[in-house]
A and B are shown apart, each in its own frame.
Chain A
Amino acid sequence: MKLVVDAALCQGYGLCHDEAPDLLELDEFGYAGTISEGIVVPERMSAAEAAVGICPARALRLVD
């Protein structure tokens, strides 16, 4: 699975980074981007799902 950030929706809350700091990083303006092209290994799926679920702007999603 791949984590995708819709950069136009991201409001820079930064909550996703707290959930999965190894999958998402914030730029110096506070906006989220994926690490390693967003690829999520099976053992990090629950962290990725938590990051998707916590985003108040619904800017994150998981795709095949």
Chain B
Amino acid sequence: MTCFLFADGTRTLAEFRTLGGLGEHDSASLIALAAEADLRGRGGAGFPFARKLSAVAESVDPVRIAIANGEEGEPGSVKDRVLMRTKPHLVLDGLRLAASAVGAQRSIVYVSDIESAVVLRAVIANEGSSFGSIEVFEVPPAYVAGEETAAVRAIDGGPALPTAKPPRPFEAGVGGHPTLIANVETLAQFAMLAARGASEFGRGTLLSTVHSSTHSGALVEVPVGTPMREVLALVTPIQDVRAILTGGLFGGVQPAALFDVALEHDALRAAGSALGCAAFHVVSASDCVVELVTDAMSFLGRESAQQCGSCLKGTAAMAAAMRRIAAGDHADTDVEALGRWAVSLRGRGNCALLDAACLMLSSLLEHWRLDLESHAVGHGCELCRARVIADDFAITRLRVPPTLVPLSLEGITT
């Protein structure tokens, strides 16, 4: 258990040094370590970290930059800011190692959380000699500001908005130079991997934010590959879970069949979802999935960078159709249009926001079509009808309570 980021022994820089932190490693051995542990990015896409390191390390351009990305725009995730506020030395040591692995002359922590920035600056001021020269760059918070090309653009003096790929930052990033950009948790995991070695590290852990509308949320740390149900069960009785918004808003709205999937990128992708930043919103048995997705689509519409026509028009149209359906005031073509947009608008933006909106819709149509159609024809789903009835005192006591939509039996632990 000594490998866990939040375990005892990592509380202070001195403790972490005793654990083996702040050691000296050459570039090749750092990249080999990341490859051996199959360390994946913790920001959302799960890209193999060793390949990112190699791409920058092997560049012909001698000027290189390393960025720790701590801009956590996902509304359902708190892991990055908690990590930066409470274990800043792990992030900074990870950045120091990554900069050393790629031969970067400049290291930057990119962050919007003010408290994190204060903590990081204090540690750099007090312990600067341990980490080398590290800058803290603050950016106004926004959903798309954490996208890697948005970070590069902001550091170069522009708006924190994504650009078209290619080039990726490892090819041409800050100032046009090859730039390694890695999520702060990835870097903290990398620091722990270097401190403890590959055999003890194994595949590392995941920081996961789990939140439910009826139970309090939690930030949990579990080994990579832990079944999803074990994480959900930490915040809510598993029989109360009707659906899960997975990967923040990036993995769609998924049914109980997903409970037994292991928390790792490949497994969730194979199941038609996404791990993203390992944030999960539990939709409880008394929550309406249609209302929740309407909320999510409205958020994505508001947070669109409004740069790409397909995203600007597409997310606005999706959110408007969902709002009409949720209110029972739909146009005849709304459900059909949602299905069409879910497929035709995929891959059409410069960042992944529009893809997240498409997956949200396709998962809603695949798993919750009855609820959607019931709303679309103006009846509301069974839960919404129950709520209307419960609000009407005169009828409530005479009426048999409607049956809740049952949780799939294979999703219940016996």
Contacts and interface: CB of A to CB of B under 8 A. Distances in A.
A12 interface: yes
Nearest to B166: A63
Nearest to B316: A29
Interface string B348-379: 11100000000000000000000000000000
B313 interface: yes
B166 A31 contact: no
Interface in B261-310: 305, 307-310
Interface residues of A, number: 16
Contacts of A6: 163-164, 350
Contacts, number: 52
B166 A8 contact: no
Contact of A11 (B309, B311, B348): B309
B158 to A, nearest CB: 12
B344 A7 contact: no
B352 to A, nearest CB: 12
Contacts of A28: 340-341, 344
A29 B350 contact: no
Contacts of A11: 309
Given A7-B311, A10-B308, A31 B164 contact: no
B173 interface: no
Contact of A7 (B340, B341, B348): B348
B165 to A, nearest CB: 8
Nearest to A10: B309
A8 B345 contact: no
Highest count of chain B CB atoms <10 Å: which of A4, A5, A11, A31:
A31
Interface string A23-52: 000011111010000000000000000000
Contact of A33 (B162, B163, B313, B347): B347
B146 interface: no
Contacts of B314: 27, 29
Q: Which 8 A-B pairs have the closest CB atoms?
A: A7-B308, A8-B307, A6-B164, A31-B309, A29-B313, A31-B310, A7-B350, A33-B348
Interface of B: 161-164, 166, 305, 307-311, 313-314, 317, 340-341, 344-345, 347-350
